[in-house]
Amino acid sequence: MEDEKKLIQFQQKIDQDIKIEPRDWMPEKYRQTLIRQISQHAHSEIIGMQPEGNWLTRAPSLRSKKILMAKIQDEAGHGLYLYCAAETLGIKREQFLQWLHEGKAKYSSVFNYPTLTWADMGAVGWLVDGAAIVNQVSLQGTSYGPYARAMVKICMEESFHQRQGFEIMVQLANGTKEQKEMAQDAVNRWWWPSIMMFGPHDSESAHSNQSLKWKIKRESNDELRQRFIDKTIEQGHHLGLIFPDPNLKLNPETNHYDYSPIDWDEFWNVVKGNGAGNRQRLNHHIKAHEDGKWVREAAIAYAKKSNLKQKSA
């Protein structure tokens, strides 16, 4: 009875757009959904550093190298904000990482595709960050306070990332024949994985109904996907590049672009661990985590020592 009353009050708060804070009462399923989504989001930021890191040593100029480096550092920061937000739900960061390493936690499927050429740094920034921004701008209005606040900060930085990618695409699309071909090839490979980032269609999305009711998600997977497609097509026309979908057409009745059916077999195959890069991404993360053990231990020992000093002072 008591919980039922609390549940009604909780939903009233959500309906009035009052943020839920860590010490507030919340249904266990709300907490679990947030733990899953925020930690997956954090893992995506951190694993997403790998396909870009692949090009740090081969960036074509000092300027592009510095910008790429700054972008990758930003992703690390985004991961940290998100792990902190997730930790407010009562789970320690070590646990999140253990779930990732055991394959129990997911990260965005898109980061399991390889970055084969410099043009991929453009396509990832333009398309992958572009898709992420559409999703994250919406999440600024999520009902859980710490997640919403992390999103505001992340979105500000993310819009630079999208522009970094678009700038590379502009340069290549206006460059030599080979550079233009390289840009086109990157769009051919990254278009569909970016579309898939928004997750399954609404009718197949296991969590959407409840997450929308609790305003963890503010818009559905298909609504966000459509917004991304509509805005990106216009940008592609500006670049003079072609999207790998012959059915992309503006529908005069809906005023949105229609698109071909998505290859969900490919999506689930990658999500289940069989994409080109899944094993490499995870093994690399596990190794980096183990290699960094001494740094964490030293930092904790230092913090303990300075705490002791402060207490005795």
Q: Which residues bind ligand BYC (CB under 6 A)?
A: 36-37, 40-41, 44-45, 48, 52, 75, 106, 108-109, 124, 128-129, 132, 135, 196-200, 205-208, 211, 217, 221, 271
State which residue, 77 or 240, has the beta carbon closest to ligand BYC.
77
Residue with structure tokens 């209005």?
141
Residue of closest CB approach to ligand BYC = 48
CB of 83 to ligand BYC, least distance (A): 13
In whole angstroms, give the CA distance from residue 151 to residue 131. 14
Contact between residue 141 and residue 177 where contact means Cβ atoms under 8 Å apart: no
State which residue, 152 or 242, has the beta carbon closest to ligand BYC.
152
In whole angstroms, give the CA distance from residue 206 to residue 271. 15
Contact between residue 81 and residue 153 where contact means Cβ atoms under 8 Å apart: yes
CB of 58 to ligand BYC, least distance (A): 17
Residue with structure tokens 């990260």?
107
CB of 152 to ligand BYC, least distance (A): 15
Q: How many CA atoms lie within 13 A of 214 on its CB side?
A: 20
CB atoms within 10 A of CB 121: 27
State which residue, 89 or 197, has the beta carbon closest to ligand BYC.
197
Calculate Rg over the CA atoms of the chain: 21
State which residue, 180 or 289, has the beta carbon closest to ligand BYC.
289
CB of 115 to ligand BYC, least distance (A): 10
State which residue, 45 or 120, has the beta carbon closest to ligand BYC.
45
In whole angstroms, give the CA distance from residue 153 to residue 166. 21
CB of 90 to ligand BYC, least distance (A): 19
